[in-house]
């Protein structure tokens, strides 16, 4: 899901997604649940670590006007390995 916050207010995305009953995976502050491999595979419950143990929220791109030079600056970051693993498993077992 791609979201573009307008204000930069603390927790804006997390609050809004929780409000519409779609909290971020593993965001325990706003109702997101941990996801385990056995759940995605529709297997018998098993003792294992969650696929991701932190809120699955990632800023792929940040762009803003530099406070001193006033030039636009842009930073990009690849998807972290734990989030990529979650997406890979969702695609494999849930056909998303």
- Residue 20 covered by a domain: no
Residue 17 lies in a domain: no
- At residue 96 the predicted structure's pLDDT band, cuts being 50, 70 and 90, is low
Tell me what percent of the chain is helix, strand and coil, each rounded to the nearest 5: 30, 10, 60
Classify residue 8: in a domain, yes or no.
no
Q: How many residues does the chain have?
A: 96
CA distance 27 to 6: 21
> What is the pLDDT confidence band of residue 10, given thresholds at 50, 70 and 90?
confident
Is position 64 within any domain?
Answer: yes
Contact 58, 79 (CB under 8 A): yes
CB proximity list for 38: less than 8 A, separation 6 or greater: 44, 45, 46, 48
SS3 76: strand
Is residue 15 assigned to a domain? no
Q: How confident is the model at residue 8 (pLDDT cuts 50, 70, 90)?
A: confident
13 is a domain residue: no
Give the span between the Cα atoms of 39 and 23, in whole angstroms.
Answer: 17
- The answer to whether position 74 is within a domain reads yes
Predicted structure pTM score:
0.79
pLDDT of 7 over the 90 cut: no
- Per the structure, the count of domains in the chain is 1
Asked if residues 52 and 86 have their Cβ atoms less than 8 Å apart, the reply is yes
Host domain of residue 56: 35-94
Q: Which residues pair with 63 in a beta bridge?
A: 74
């Amino acid at each position: 899901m791609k979201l573009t916050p307008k204000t930069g207010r603390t927790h804006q995305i997390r609050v809004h997604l929780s409000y519409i009953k779609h909290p971020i995976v593993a965001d325990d502050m706003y109702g997101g649940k941990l996801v385990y491999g056995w759940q995605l595979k529709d297997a018998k419950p098993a003792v294992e670590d969650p696929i991701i143990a932190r809120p699955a929220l990632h800023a792929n791109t940040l762009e803003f006007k530099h406070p001193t030079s006033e030039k636009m600056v842009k930073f990009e970051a690849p998807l972290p390995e734990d989030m990529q693993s979650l997406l890979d498993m969702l695609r494999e077992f849930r056909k998303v």
